[in-house]
Amino acid sequence: MITRRSLLATGGVLAATGALASAAPVSADAEPAAEVPTRNPLVEQRADPFVTPPTDGMYYLTGSVPEYDRVVIRGASTLDGLASARERTIWRRPASGKMGGYIWAPELHRIDGKWYVYFAAGDKDEPFRIRTYVLESANADPREGGWVLRGQMVTAWDTFTLDATTFAHRGKRYFLWAQSEPGIATNTNLYIAEMASPLALKTAPVRIATPTLSWEVLGFKVNEGPAVLIRNGRVFVTYSASATDARYCMGLLTADENANLLDARSWTKSPNPVFTTHAPTSQYGPGHNSFTTVGSTDVLVYHARDYRDITGDPLFDPNRHTRVQKLHWNADGTPSFGVPVGRGGPIARLSPLDAPSLVVRHYEYRLRVDGNVRDLGDSQFRFVPGFLGAGTVAVQSVNFPDRYVRVDGDVIRIDPFEDTDAYGRAASFVRVPGLADGRAVSLRAGADTYLAHDNGRVVLSRPGSDRDARRRATFRLE
């Protein structure tokens, strides 16, 4: 039997492999062919992570190293492979003079058959005199040598400038970055301009975001780290705000895909942050993200720490780790980020076979079935080893990982773990191929009882041979 001690030994989360291997088999077709990695973190001590879209069968990762002294790249044929891939240094700061200070937040982009790295660098004698510079390589593999420094990206003001990204849209290429503008009492704002080439701007900068909301000005007045995702008729820009400790978080800008992106009026800022610290999963200060894809799945790449309290300046705490998780979408076509999910195995959303547009979620700690669940974490679960030994599974809440699905009389709840036999019996299930579809799953709670959907509720049911009842007791995994 799994005890509280064994749970604590693994940080409150146990890998699903042991339980699923010993439970009744489920068709492999029920799982996606291409999977988002579930290891967390993916790469330790790589802040400001940027992962390219798959390019010629490869993913490439770059990011800030704790020493802030070089630009590194690693590559792999899968996202998960980046965790163990060999890392190569493609450029190192000079020993003196310009760019001899802090090296921050490199991004790697493939443009017109060449690779470009945009990065921020300070000077040796003034390490916080941060400006944006660009490296260029004609090699097919960006990990190879031969990178050439092409100089500084010149903007309208010679001021603190960092976190540049670039994207193409409707036949134009844009540059998007953070900068301190003279005359504005903020640390950094967000700006956009059209590019004349990968090395120069074509138009004057347009300010599209200024830190003014309460969650954007904690510690510092910051809008930085923009990342672009074009989906569902809109251009979405995520960005990071506030100090780089547990207060760091992500906001969202939105423009219509047909709008003039160089008109500040085209952009709307969401009033609340979209991705924040989540203490129950021990993830603090998530931010400075990028996006990539696995097949047709959008993937959020970001950094966060495993702890809240930091000794000294957060900037010099090395443990901002690279993490990835699936990005979901709301019914209205807007991105749904959920919570930084923390450690653990694969994450599932369960849809009842009789209501495939709905999902199982918890609300006030009770299980129910709803549509358009905007609180994504409420509908995410992990299958972990059950509390009754081999052949059983428990269903763990993702956003409250100390809670598991538990039968409490005629109510199905998520309740905190208790080291008792009664809890173990009430929170353990046998996962079997779906009663009405072998590619899906059913969860047996007793000899002939199963979790089932009943008019928006999750209940115990004895479906027997009844066709409709067996459909209600069958759940597809997203």
> What would the pLDDT profile of 76-133 be if each residue is shown by its tens digit?
999 999 999 999 999 999 999 999 999 999 999 999 999 999 999 999 999 999 999 9
Per-residue pLDDT at 309 exceeds 50: yes
For 388-400, give one letter per residue: b (16+ CB within 10 A) or e.
beeebbbbbbbbb
Dihedral, CA of residue 345, residue 350, residue 353 and residue 359, to nearest 10 = -160
217 token code pair: 């000005």
Residues assigned a catalytic role: 48, 224
Tell me: the pLDDT tens digits for 341-388? 999 999 999 999 999 999 999 999 999 999 999 999 999 999 999 998
Q: Coil, strand or helix: which one is 265? A: helix
Residue 33 has a pLDDT of: 44
Q: What is the pLDDT of residue 421?
A: 95
**Which of the two residues, 8 and 50, has the higher pLDDT score?**
50
Res 390: pLDDT: 85
> Measured between alpha carbons, how far is residue 246 from residues 269, 304, 417 in Å?
22, 9, 27
Confidence at residue 277, expressed as pLDDT on a 0 to 100 scale: 98
Mean confidence (pLDDT) of the chain: 93
For 412-436, what is the mean pLDDT?
A: 97
Tens digits of residue pLDDT in 448-457: 999 999 999 9
Place of tokens 């299930």: 429
Two structure tokens written together for 301? 């790449």
Residue range 320-344: average pLDDT? Answer: 96
Residue 469 pLDDT more than 60?
yes
37-54 residue pLDDT tens = 988 999 999 999 999 999
Q: Can you tell me the mean pLDDT for 227-254? A: 98
> 10-19, 28-37, 239-248, 374-383 — which is least confidently predicted?
10-19
Q: Which residues of 6-43 are buried (b: 16+ CB within 10 A; e: fewer)?
A: ebeeeebbbbbeebbeebeebeeebeeeeebbbebbbb
Q: Which domains does the chain have, with CATH numbers?
A: 4-30+346-477 (2.80.10.50), 47-336 (2.115.10.20)
The tokens for 343 are 């450690």
The pLDDT score that the predictor gives to residue 411 is: 96
Share of the chain above pLDDT 70, in %: 93
pLDDT digits (tens, 9 = 90+) for 213-234: 999 999 999 999 999 999 999 9
Per-residue pLDDT at 16: 31
Per-residue pLDDT at 143 exceeds 90: yes
pLDDT of res. 34: 59
pLDDT in tens, 203-213: 999 999 999 99
pLDDT at 414 over 90: yes
pLDDT digits (tens, 9 = 90+) for 17-33: 222 222 233 332 333 34
Q: Is the pLDDT of residue 412 over 70?
A: yes
- d(C-alpha 20, C-alpha 34), whole Å: 19
Average pLDDT for residues 152-170, to the nearest whole number? 98
pLDDT above 80 (res 9): no
From edge to edge, which strands make up the β-sheet containing 148-152? Answer: 103-111, 114-121, 131-137, 148-152
Residue found under tokens 């066709």: 467
